[in-house]
Amino acid sequence: MDPLIIFLATGMVTMSAALSAGAINKLPEDQKPSFASTRNGMVAVIMAGNISAITLLFAMAYGFLKLDWWIPLICMFISFPVVHVLVIQRVLGDLKALVLMLPLVIAAMPVLYYYW
């Protein structure tokens, strides 16, 4: 499989999940979803964000290893956040984006390992 496709797919889902978890974490208590207002719910959101961030680091390392250096750099700071904010966050919202992206993050881990 093409390294660019692997990098873009894994990087996008991990960045989206990490940004969604961060956005849910920063909401005021009265605006948080019902499950996130409990202590265990917030721990789950924080853990999902941490797993996503670690997998994003692996995706970036894969990108720097297999692609030219400027492709992962531009994607990390421009493309991935813009796509998340302008498309995914507006269409799905933070909670649905996190719930949708988290299984994809889990699936991205063995994909990155296998194609490394």
- 73-116 pLDDT tens trace: 999 999 999 999 999 999 999 899 999 999 999 999 999 999 98
- Say what the pLDDT of residue 36 is: 79
**Cβ–Cβ contacts within 10 Å for residue 78, how many?**
10
For the chain, give me the number of helices (H) and strands (E)?
6, 0
Please list, in sequence order, all residues whose beta carbon lies within 8 angstroms of the beta carbon of residue 101, skipping any fewer than 6 positions away.
13, 14, 16, 17, 20, 52, 88
Token pair in block for residue 37: 């207002």
- At a CB cut-off of 8 Å and minimum separation 6, what does 45 contact? 21, 24, 25, 36, 98
Residue-wise pLDDT for 13-51, tens only, equals 999 999 999 999 998 888 888 887 788 989 999 999 999
Give the global pTM.
0.92
